[in-house]
Amino acid sequence: MTRHKLSRLTIAKASLQRLMQRVREILKRGRGRNIRRVIEELVPVLRGWASYFSLVDVKRPLEALDQ
């Protein structure tokens, strides 16, 4: 929760860490493989995660991950 007038939900650090660990596992297995296969394996994970957290303010945590 934040101290804004409107309350906002945020992502728990543990959930974000689990996502990053899953992405790292997929990318490590992808070395030496066709990039298309890696993307096909990665897309369902990211879409599922994004739809599960669709009501949460994810912009800032994901911007931090992009750095």
Dist. CA 50–CA 67, nearest whole Å: 19
Q: Can you give the pLDDT at residue 18?
A: 92
- Looking at the domain assignment, is residue 25 inside a domain? yes
State the residue range of the domain holding 14. 1-56
Encoded amino acid at 51, one letter: S
Dist. CA 43–CA 39, nearest whole Å: 6
- Looking at the domain assignment, is residue 64 inside a domain? no
* pLDDT tier at 7, thresholds 50, 70, 90: low
- Looking at the domain assignment, is residue 23 inside a domain? yes
Q: Can you give the pLDDT at residue 43?
A: 92
Q: HSE on the CB side for 64, CA within 13 Å?
A: 9
pTM of the model: 0.69
